[in-house]
Chains A and B, each alone.
Chain A
């Protein structure tokens, strides 16, 4: 049997020391040889990639805006929880849709008003992005750390460890991921909260992170296992072993620097997937629930009211498409910068 991941691993090239040494010499300017680390080379290549730089800035802007959402909201003078519709009844018409044109967009409400409750969409989107990006970032970090540790351990130790890690991965891969997120949310929440009690928002956030983490790390672990297995047999690792380096030293000083590329590339591809998955759960009503602002929850509302108020979808939708698109393009740029051989 050829499992797809194995074939993928064997074809993807591992950056070797020798090829990097060659490039170092080629890139040096003038007659003098200037040593540049692989990191510097990557950065130099990345800076030349205009799409990558622009997308990097856009993605960074999303994170900054999300992180600063309370500051921006206080400057803007509104809160995502206040029901402006009931404070000022003239904002909503008799069907409780925004009275103004285009979903109630005005100088006071930049992105319009939510029908029904009359909350401000602009602050809801900002705070919602903060929730979604925060959760996805946490999931990505946990998944990358877990995948790296397990993948390198299985690849380096081999034998029984490798066998059982492989079986565990097979087992976890059989779980229908989206359905499992949905199905295990109540169970994970029940660990923290007694039945009948109100579930605090932070528990929901923790549960969302835990379920996505538990089923997220296998891909990276498998990839790294394969890479480490082939690196383990290379001469420089052998040399380190003969000189008496401890396994810890071999893993951190010899193996880890050689798998930084796949880790970084995979994590840039991973984050937008987690953002959309988290938004999908909230869209179905099993992630973050009202009244906590969340990107996905806005799509739930938008879908329900689209027939009468299509403007509501515009800003959250456009923001998400731009974010995911830019992140994917950034992922491609990071991959190209690290590994110029893999042309598109």
Chain B
């Protein structure tokens, strides 16, 4: 287990370095970042000053090296010291990129966490039920509904749900309330986004759980278990269920990576200021250090969940060897 984790972590770090280098070169070679940092009414003196302050007068590879070192060791700007992990300062707000991201993280993490719990519970529940009662009216209803829901987008369903619950005055508009100081407010504030996300993501899990369960129920070890007189429920939940976990874990890993890295469309639909919103706003204002920071952060999360998923295979299926 440990060698596996170590090897995969090194691989992930290599990919992260390559990815950040690629992104950095594209961003900092195209156009002059100082012009963007300077804003309107920019004079040549101002541009020169910004170049000097941000180290933009150096060649791009040198700049990238400073960026990389800054993440691990911190970095000194003319404006002051930026302690590790340092992603530089925002062009737009002059704030430390890392601390801005950390300010936005609780909202994004809460959104992702609640959404995942909701759609896993509903999706797997309905999928298993449909597989258990295969061919029944219940199965057909569940399959039909999930087919329709998988075609609905958050930006279509979101306003409708907001219209029913928020604009009519039943509930407050979605907002982030600190979890530790007010757990109830936190729950109520994010309930609508969670449920909307769940509605849309669930469909995929329902279909996946149903089809893999049906596949598993035809496996020989399941048939043997049934034949030797094991209770059907036990066979269903212990024997077949375990085998159907692998595809589910696979798609869950992909979803986790993208959700924790900022569910952009959800945040836009409900006007929540999380990491996704931060990313889009920084792209619109061409705030390159901020975009760099969010890119590296989100990519790191994707790689992290990939490793977790691959490690999880070994727990689910003992035949999988982590080599």
- The CA-CA distance from A177 to B276 in the complex, in Å, is 12
Bitwise, A306-332 to B at CB < 8 A (1) or not (0) is 110010010001001100110011000
| Interface 1/0 per residue, B128-151 and A, CB below 8 Å | 000000000000000100011011
The residue in chain A whose Cβ has the minimal distance to the Cβ of B270 is A303
A183 close to chain B: CB less than 8 A: yes
Main secondary structure of the interface of B (DSSP, over half): helix
* Interface 1/0 per residue, B220-259 and A, CB below 8 Å: 0000000000000000000000000011001000000110
Complex Cα spacing A240 to B265, Å: 51
A300 and B153 alpha carbons, distance in the complex (Å)? 13
4 pairs of A and B residues whose beta carbons are closest in the complex:
A325-B151, A306-B159, A176-B298, A324-B151
B269 cross-chain contacts in A, Cβ below 8 A: 303
Q: How far is the CA of A313 from the CA of B154 in the complex (A)?
A: 13
Query: A320–B19 contact, CB under 8 A?
Result: no
The reply to whether B163 and A176 form a contact with Cβ atoms under 8 Å apart is: no
Whether the Cβ atoms of A179 and B279 lie closer than 8 Å is yes
User: A183-B295, A303-B159 provided; 8 other pairs, C-beta below 8 A?
Assistant: A3-B310, A8-B247, A174-B15, A178-B258, A183-B283, A284-B264, A303-B269, A310-B160
Q: How far is the CB of A320 from chain B (nearest CB, A)?
A: 6
**Would A1 and B279 be within 8 Å (CB), given that A284-B264, A307-B167, A324-B151 are in contact?**
no
29 A–B contacts from the bound complex (CB under 8 Å): A3-B310, A4-B247, A4-B309, A174-B15, A174-B16, A174-B19, A176-B257, A176-B262, A176-B295, A176-B302, A178-B264, A179-B262, A179-B276, A183-B294, A186-B283, A191-B30, A195-B35, A280-B153, A284-B265, A286-B284, A296-B155, A299-B156, A300-B155, A303-B158, A303-B269, A306-B159, A306-B162, A306-B163, A310-B159
B binding-site residues for A, Cβ under 8 Å: 4, 12, 15-16, 18-19, 23, 26-27, 30-32, 35, 143, 147-148, 150-153, 155-156, 158-160, 162-163, 167, 211, 246-247, 250, 257-258, 261-262, 264-265, 268-269, 276, 279-280, 283-284, 286, 291, 294-295, 298-299, 301-303, 309-310, 313, 320, 322-323
Q: Closest CB of chain B to A5's CB: distance in Å? A: 9
Residue numbers in A under 8 Å from B4 (CB-CB): 1
Q: A1-B322, A176-B257, A191-B30 are in contact. Are A182 and B283 (CB under 8 A)?
A: yes
Rounded to whole Å, the gap between the CB of B37 and the closest CB of chain A is 13
Interface residues of A in 281-297 (CB under 8 A from B): 283-286, 296
Interface residues of A (CB under 8 A from B): 1-4, 7-8, 170-171, 173-180, 182-187, 190-191, 195, 272, 276, 279-280, 283-286, 296, 299-300, 302-303, 306-307, 310, 313, 317, 320-321, 324-325, 328-329, 344
Contact A1 B153 (CB under 8 A): no
Contacts of A276 in B (CB 8 A): 153
Which residue of B is nearest A276, CB measured?
Answer: B153
Q: Report the nearest A residue to B265, measured CB to CB.
A: A280
A175 touching B147 by the CB < 8 A rule? no
Q: How many angstroms from the CA of A175 to the CA of B291 in the assembled complex?
A: 13
User: Are A182 and B151 interface neighbours, CB within 8 A?
Assistant: no
B135 to chain A, nearest CB (A): 11
B19→A179 contact, CB < 8 A:
no
Establish whether residues B302 and A182, one from each chain, have CB atoms under 8 Å apart when the complex forms.
Answer: no
Contact assessment for A325 and B147 in the assembled complex, using a CB-CB cutoff below 8 Å: yes
Query: In the docked arrangement, what's the CA distance between A228 and B55, Å?
Result: 50
* Known A-B contacts A179-B261, A280-B265, A320-B156; A286 and B19 likewise in contact (beta carbons under 8 Å): no
A284's contact among B16, B211, B268, by CB below 8 Å, is which?
A: B268
A interface SS class: helix
Rounded to whole angstroms, the CA-CA distance of A279 and B151 in the bound complex is 13
**Min CB–CB distance B88 → chain A (angstroms):** 16
Are B15 and A179 in contact (CB-based, < 8 A)?
no
Q: How far is the CA of A173 from the CA of B152 in the complex (A)?
A: 25
A-side contacts of B303, CB under 8 Å: 174
B151 lies within 8 A of A174 (CB): no
Q: Are A185 and B299 in contact, CB atoms less than 8 angstroms apart? A: no
Q: In whole angstroms, what is the CA distance A105 to B16 when docked? A: 53
The answer to whether A328 and B151 touch across the interface, beta carbons within 8 angstroms, is: yes
Contact, CB under 8 Å: B280 / A182: yes
Tell me the complex Cα distance, A344–B279, Å. Answer: 40
Determine the distance from Cα of A286 to Cα of B163 in the docked complex, in whole angstroms: 25
Task: State in angstroms the CA–CA spacing of A226 and B26 once bound together.
Answer: 32
B148, B265, B320: the one within 8 Å of A325 (CB): B148
Bound Cα distance A312, B209 (Å)? 36
Contacts of B160 in A (CB 8 A): 306, 310, 313, 317
Q: Are B310 and A1 in contact (CB-based, < 8 A)?
A: yes
Give the complex CA separation of A289 and B303 in angstroms. 33
Q: With A and B bound together, what is the CA distance between A321 and B148 in angstroms?
A: 8
- Residue from A3, A179, A279 having most chain B Cβ neighbours under 10 A: A179
- Is there an interface contact between A183 and B291, defined as CB atoms closer than 8 Å? yes
Asked if B163 contacts A185 (CB within 8 A), the reply is no
The answer to whether B280 and A284 have CB atoms under 8 Å apart is: yes
Chain A proximity of B172: nearest CB distance (Å): 14
Asked whether A1 lies within 8 Å of B159 as measured between CB atoms, the reply is no
Within 8 Å CB of A184, what residues of B? 26
- For A299, the chain B residues whose CB sits under 8 A away are 153, 155-156
> Are B150 and A186 touching (Cβ within 8 A)?
no
A156 to chain B, nearest CB (A): 26
Q: Which of A2, A286, A306, A310 has the most CB of B within 10 A?
A: A2
> Which residues of chain B are within 8 angstroms of A296 by Cβ–Cβ distance?
155
Cα A343 to Cα B246 in complex, Å, equals 20
Residue of chain A at shortest CB distance from B26: A187
Q: How far is the CA of A175 from the CA of B19 in the complex (A)?
A: 8
B155's partner among A176, A187, A303, A324 (CB-CB below 8 A) is A303
